[in-house]
Structure 1
Amino acid sequence: MLSQRLRTARRAKGFTQEELAELVCTTKGTISNYENNHSTPPNDMLRQLADILNVSTDWLLGRTDEPTSYSGSSSTAAEKRSLDELLQEKIDDPDDYYFLDGYLEASEEEKKEIRRYWYDLKKQWKARQVKETRPPSLFDITEPLKKK
């Protein structure tokens, strides 16, 4: 359970194993071992991982299905938002919507293939040290056409 949820949370945050390892002052191999269930993080590491990934230790350990179910009244409004609300926020942007359109309904194999292409593309960008720039939005492209 821990290994799967750690990998899920890391990917949701957009971190590579190496990037997460740097943030918690360990090695990529250690993170890989956690994600492949070859070893279990000590309590202090578990807390660090949960903090960086913005999930609860209970969720990482499989004690709850709510990723950010923090106890106490210190929870912020953002922490209480559901995953559905966060996803809706992303698809409210037309560009994100068209990119994500059909992804949630895709088969698991299709999703893996899409993720594989995406990770390969990100590696190529890093290898070439290409700065990611945001292309013009669909609105920016179509608005001048509407005015004609």
Structure 2
Amino acid sequence: MLSQRLRTARKAKGLTQEELAEKVQTTKGTISNYENNHSSPPNEMLAQLADILQVSTDWLLGRVDDELASSSAAAVQSHNRSLEDLLQEKIDDPDDYYFLDGYLEASEEEKKEIRRYWYDLKKQMRVHQVKESRTPSLYAITEKIKREK
């Protein structure tokens, strides 16, 4: 149970085994051993993992199904963070950030239209067997316009 839940919580946080290991000051191999049920973390390590992954130790151990049972203040605070903070933390590309921010601010009708265009585009790409399409970034477009002047 611990192995599955540890892997689930780590992936939900968007962390690699190496990143989680760094946060708890251990090795990637140790995290791998925990996730593959080859070993179990000592109590101090279990508490550290729960804090970083913002779940309870009881949930990691399979004692409860509510991952926030006996949650730490950090877990509660995380749920209260603004959507903008979460977007900025997870998205590196400014174009992606502004697109998603704009999408989330759009009306339901606008969102429906955006989704329709997206599904049509994906369908066309599948039909034409386009594996990857890279739209130029706003920066690249701006630079091109500057060069053309």
TM normalised by structure 2 equals 0.54
Alignment partner, residue 138 of structure 2: none
Identity %: 66
Alignment partner, residue 134 of structure 2: none
Shift of residue 134, structure 1, vs aligned partner: 3.2
Counterpart amino acid of residue 92 in structure 2: E
Higher Rg: 2
Counterpart amino acid of residue 137 in structure 1: F
Alignment partner, residue 44 of structure 2: 44
CA RMSD of aligned residues (A): 3.5
Kept after mapping to 1: 8 A contact 2:6/2:60: yes
Give the whole-Å Cα distance in 2 for the aligned partners of 1:57 and 1:24: 15
Q: Does 1:137 align with 2:135?
A: no
Counterpart amino acid of residue 133 in structure 1: D
Q: Which runs of 5+ in 2 are unaligned?
A: 111-149
Shift of residue 78, structure 1, vs aligned partner: 3.1
Q: Runs of 4+ in structure 1 displaced over 4 angstroms?
A: 74-77
Shift of residue 10, structure 1, vs aligned partner: 0.4
Alignment partner, residue 55 of structure 2: 55
Alignment partner, residue 8 of structure 1: 8
Give the whole-Å Cα distance in 1 for the aligned partners of 2:75 and 2:67: 14
Shift of residue 24, structure 1, vs aligned partner: 0.4
Deviations 1:18-65 (A, max 9, x none): 000001010000000000001000111000000000000000000000
Give the whole-Å Cα distance in 2 for the aligned partners of 1:57 and 1:134: 36
Alignment partner, residue 76 of structure 2: 78
Kept after mapping to 1: 8 A contact 2:24/2:49: yes
Alignment partner, residue 32 of structure 1: 32
TM normalised by structure 1 equals 0.54
Q: Which runs of 5+ in 1 are unaligned?
A: 82-88, 94-130, 144-148
Shift of residue 77, structure 1, vs aligned partner: 8.9
Counterpart amino acid of residue 94 in structure 2: R
Q: Helix, strand or coil: the match of 1:137?
A: helix
